[in-house]
Structure 1
Amino acid sequence: MAAGAASSSPAPAGARYSGYGGSSAMTALEPNFNVWFERDGEVVMSRWRMRLLAAIDEHGSITEGARVTGVPYRVAWQKVHEMEERLGERLLETQTGGPEGGGAHLTQAGRDHVERMRIFCERADQAIRLIYLDTFEPPPGA
């Protein structure tokens, strides 16, 4: 490879990006990423699906969970159904409407999946932030 040519291989551990001549242009940026888990090439859990499940549980209904996450009821119901099918377990306990009204709440398995995903995302966010700082922030005294 010619000197100065771009490489598609990852930077060595501890290497810092110097393409901006040490300017603070990169310090104004915030790293973002998305994470999801698949089984057999199909999405099982994602940040968005975790938020949907948490919203359903918090509001006690699929309708309200869908509303606060900004999707139609049908989409919310479909995503919950997909997760349950792909995980092989119930994530929601539902009650049909009537004089007492219906409702939906997470099962213990649903709570466990939401909590594990929340912890995973927090730790991944921290790791990405550290990688970003190590890669893009100028070293002290630079």
Structure 2
Amino acid sequence: MPGRSRTPRLEARGSLWITADGESLGGHGRMALLRAVAEQGSITQAARAFGISYKAAWDAIDAMNRVAGEDLVERSAGGRGGGSTRLTEHGRRLLDRHAQIDAVHQRFVRLLTDEAFDLSRPFSVLDVLKLKTTARNQFTGTVTAMRSGAVNDEVELTLPGGTRLVAIVTRESVDALGLRIQQPAMALIQAANVVLATDIGQAKLSTRNQLRGTVRSVRPGAVNAEVTLEIDSGVRIVAIVTETSVAELALAPGVRAVALVKAPDVVLAVASQESGRESAA
């Protein structure tokens, strides 16, 4: 087989289709027809704008009315203009909701394309969903150890490359998230909760998470600076520190440092198996 000049881009494709009690109600085509009726005020004009016959348009609308269990389109008779056709309140709500759900659906399909087709990496639904949160540091990994306490539990998350993070969460949170060994999970850490240190040598610290690495960037601000540390395993963590601390620690690209994160400051999140959404605790 002749050599290929490039690797083809893999993509996810999908379309949204609504059913009612398992019976097809409609997808993009029928929803576009409803929108045309709303805009034209006439099935005849909507059919013409949509490029189909009046009969095909009416059959589709009649089927939708029947399957929906409530009319989506209604006619108003009489008047000098000969009456009109319009969407019912239920029809308008359905059309608006379809547009909202379709926007989310298309975004998820794009996320799948962007995040799920790097075949050199293991697939993680958490990577695809990417929580929207104020936490600058979001790490996906696998639960590798759990230790129960009287009130709180200690959960260990192993990240790609071998870095381990320890979180302390309540027993109620462990139960609510359904945490178990080998379960994919995400660790969220606020940048302000990351403490940087240098030249600690063999000092013994009470902080459970001690991540050694190299400073990659320092972005100064009026009061605080944003420092990115690349952990030796390849993971990057962001810390917000004062400009005074940057000067005192001589933080600059290439400097060795340690990121210290208290276990109670690590928030865990998992994907809900029922809804595909994420829960955090």
Same fold (TM over 0.5): yes
Task: Name which of 45, 53, 60 aligns with 1:64.
Answer: 45
Deviates more, 1:126-135 or 1:99-108: 99-108
Name the one with the larger helix percent: 1
The residue number in structure 2 matching 1:94 is: 75
Q: Normalising to structure 2: TM-score of the pair? A: 0.37
Give secondary structure in 2 for the equivalent of 1:38: strand
Q: Which consecutive unaligned segments of at least 5 residues does structure 1 have?
A: 1-20
Q: Normalising to structure 1: TM-score of the pair? A: 0.70
Instruction: Tell me whether 1:25 sits opposite 2:15 in the alignment.
Output: no
Task: Name which of 22, 35, 39 aligns with 2:16.
Answer: 35
**Conserved? CA contact 2:76–2:84, under 8 Å:** yes
**Conserved? CA contact 2:12–2:112, under 8 Å:** no
Task: Name which of 90, 99, 106 aligns with 1:109.
Answer: 90
Give how far 1:40 is off.
4.8
The residue number in structure 1 matching 2:117 is: 136
Instruction: Tell me whether 1:119 sits opposite 2:100 in the alignment.
Output: yes
Deviates more, 1:78-87 or 1:40-49: 40-49
Report the RMSD for the aligned CA atoms in angstroms: 2.4
Percent sequence identity over aligned pairs: 34
The 1:69–1:32 alpha-carbon spacing in structure 2 relative to 1, beyond 3 Å, is farther
Number of aligned residue pairs: 116
Instruction: Tell me whether 1:78 sits opposite 2:67 in the alignment.
Output: no
Give secondary structure in 1 for the equivalent of 2:116: helix
Relative contact order higher in (CA < 8 Å, ≥ 6 apart): 1
Q: Which consecutive unaligned segments of at least 5 residues does structure 2 have?
A: 121-281
Q: Within 2, Cα distance between the matches of 1:50 and 1:93?
A: 16
Q: Within 2, Cα distance between the matches of 1:39 and 1:93?
A: 20
The residue number in structure 2 matching 1:50 is: 31
Q: Within 1, Cα distance between the matches of 2:7 and 2:77?
A: 56
The 1:71–1:32 alpha-carbon spacing in structure 2 relative to 1, beyond 3 Å, is farther
Deviates more, 1:104-113 or 1:63-72: 63-72
Per-residue CA distance 1:105-124 (angstroms, 9 max, x = gap): 11110000001111111100
Structure index of larger Rg: 2
